[in-house]
């Protein structure tokens, strides 16, 4: 299963030959902001400035039904840009509509470049094995530049939508999202105000997409360790005290630094997430706490042991010694 993936057939052969580093944890991982941003950047060369020559929709729905006349509304339009909002990608079209694309749990994009050395249809990986049947290839975009972009989703938890660009902010998929964690609106003062009075755990609050968009289980765990804050701490305890929001400010810095480093590393490959050249994301090799239960905390002079707990049905990793 390729989560949040863009690969060519040649790249798959390279990966299966063992040229990429081994993966740590063999569990499903919903792509978070760094993985989605990696996918967005990988789609740009194949789609931006290109026209949809043919669109093949192979089923009626994914998580939600496809928009009415989905293929017809896309065919003949040109992609002007591809942006991201939280975990959602948005391809602007010269028709005035926007194509929304969400990867869900197991969604991925593949690019077949139609080069002579890659004849035939795309071979999609599932647990590093070719899927010649293409059983889960649900949407095929043939672009004017010669590339074929294929959306594959075994669990069908992703979705695609079409919205008018002038009505985008009112979309049900966007209207309740909090600020971007790498954007100017995500400040210590904003976070302190948003956390005030919240009696849930700090980790649960940060996973709330209404508070901040795009964060998930991995990067919240990493950011909390970076900020030396316990995931078990009450969210309200990071709000402003006496006019100061030191904990919230520290956490904003940590979130930004962790996300920036993860994007630079191409995201995290816990199962088989890959990007444009078929290589794996590398941030999993830099995890401080995630999936490191029982190992020593990497913080200098800490000496603590990473612990795993379950919060709201999700695994949490942290160091009880230095995260307070």
Q: Note the pLDDT tens digit of each residue in 214-252.
A: 999 999 999 999 999 999 999 999 987 776 799 999 999
Instruction: Tell me what the mean pLDDT of segment 156-179 comes to.
Output: 96
Which pLDDT value is given to residue 16? 27
pLDDT at 25 over 60: no
How far is Cα 97 from Cα 91, in angstroms, rounded to an integer? Answer: 9
Indicate which residues carry an active-site annotation.
31-32, 87, 314
For the entire predicted model, the pTM comes to: 0.83
Which pLDDT value is given to residue 236? 95
The last residue of one of the domains, among 109, 141, 170, is 170
**Percent of the chain at pLDDT exceeding 90:** 66
Mean pLDDT is lowest, of 47-51, 84-88, 263-267, for 263-267
Same domain (yes/no): 16, 156: yes
How far is Cα 277 from Cα 240, in angstroms, rounded to an integer? Answer: 45
User: What is the pLDDT confidence band of residue 164, given thresholds at 50, 70 and 90?
Assistant: very high
Asked if the structure places residue 278 within a domain, the reply is no
The last residue of one of the domains, among 170, 198, 215, is 170
Same domain (yes/no): 205, 140: no
Q: What is the CATH number of the domain that holds 89?
A: 3.20.190.10
Same domain (yes/no): 138, 213: no
Same domain (yes/no): 202, 291: yes
User: What is the pLDDT confidence band of residue 295, given thresholds at 50, 70 and 90?
Assistant: very high
CA torsion 270→251→172→64, rounded to 10°? 10
The last residue of one of the domains, among 137, 170, 203, is 170
Q: Are 178 and 213 in contact (CB under 8 A)?
A: yes
Mean pLDDT is lowest, of 66-75, 177-186, 234-243, 308-317, for 234-243
Asked if the structure places residue 103 within a domain, the reply is yes
Q: What is the CATH number of the domain that holds 210?
A: 1.10.8.50
Same domain (yes/no): 202, 162: no
Same domain (yes/no): 155, 213: no
Same domain (yes/no): 165, 197: no
Q: Containing domain of residue 20, as a range? A: 9-170
Q: End-to-end distance of the chain based on CA atoms, in angstroms?
A: 37
Same domain (yes/no): 209, 165: no
Greater confidence, 24 or 236? 236
Instruction: Tell me what the mean pLDDT of segment 116-142 comes to.
Output: 57
Which pLDDT value is given to residue 114? 62
pLDDT at 2 over 60: no
Nearest to 276 by CA among 3, 5, 2, 91: 5
Instruction: Tell me what the mean pLDDT of segment 108-135 comes to.
Output: 54
Asked if the structure places residue 177 within a domain, the reply is no
Same domain (yes/no): 23, 156: yes
Same domain (yes/no): 135, 198: no
Q: Are 167 and 228 in contact (CB under 8 A)?
A: no
Q: Are 118 and 163 in contact (CB under 8 A)?
A: no
Same domain (yes/no): 114, 79: yes
Beta bridge partners of 101: 89, 160
Asked if the structure places residue 209 within a domain, the reply is yes
Asked if the structure places residue 275 within a domain, the reply is no
Asked if the structure places residue 324 within a domain, the reply is no
Asked if the structure places residue 1 within a domain, the reply is no
Same domain (yes/no): 31, 159: yes
pLDDT at 213 over 70: yes
Greater confidence, 309 or 107? 309
DSSP 139: E
Contacts 24+ apart (CB under 8 A), 128-131: 128/15, 128/16, 128/272, 130/12
Asked if the structure places residue 20 within a domain, the reply is yes
Dig out the tokens for 84 from the structure. 């991201």
User: For the stretch 55-74, what's the b/e string if a residue is b when 16 or more beta carbons lie within 10 angstroms of its beta carbon?
Assistant: bebeeeebeeebbeebbebb
Number of domains present in the structure of the chain: 2
């Amino acid at each position: 299963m390729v989560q949040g993936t863009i690969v060519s057939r040649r790249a798959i052969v390279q990966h299966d030959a063992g040229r990429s580093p081994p993966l740590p944890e063999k569990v499903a991982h919903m792509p978070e902001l760094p993985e989605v941003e990696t996918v967005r950047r990988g789609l740009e060369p194949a789609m931006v400035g290109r026209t949809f020559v043919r669109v093949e929709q192979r089923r009626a729905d994914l998580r939600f039904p496809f928009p009415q006349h989905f293929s017809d509304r896309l065919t003949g339009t040109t992609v002007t840009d591809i942006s991201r909002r939280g975990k959602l990608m948005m391809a602007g079209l010269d028709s005035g509509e926007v194509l929304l694309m969400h990867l869900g749990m197991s969604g991925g994009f593949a690019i077949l470049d139609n080069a002579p050395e890659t004849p035939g249809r795309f071979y999609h990986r599932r647990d590093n094995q070719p899927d010649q049947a293409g059983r889960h290839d649900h949407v095929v975009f043939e672009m004017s530049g010669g590339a074929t972009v294929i959306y594959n989703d075994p669990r069908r938890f992703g979705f695609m939508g079409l919205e008018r660009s002038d009505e985008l902010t009112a979309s049900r998929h966007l209207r309740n999202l909090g600020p971007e964690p790498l954007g100017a609106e995500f400040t210590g003062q904003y976070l302190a105000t948003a956390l005030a009075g919240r009696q849930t755990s700090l980790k649960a609050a940060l996973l709330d997409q209404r508070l901040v968009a795009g964060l998930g289980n991995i990067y919240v765990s990493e950011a909390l360790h970076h900020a030396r804050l316990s995931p078990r701490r009450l969210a309200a305890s990071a709000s402003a005290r006496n006019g100061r929001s030191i904990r919230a400010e520290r956490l904003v810095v940590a979130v930004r630094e962790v996300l920036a480093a993860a994007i630079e590393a191409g995201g995290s490959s816990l199962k088989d997430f890959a990007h444009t050249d078929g290589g794996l994301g590398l941030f999993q090799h830099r995890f401080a706490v995630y999936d490191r239960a029982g190992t020593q905390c990497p913080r200098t002079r800490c000496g603590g042991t990473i612990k795993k707990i379950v919060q709201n049905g999700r695994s949490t990793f942290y160091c009880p010694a230095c995260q307070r």
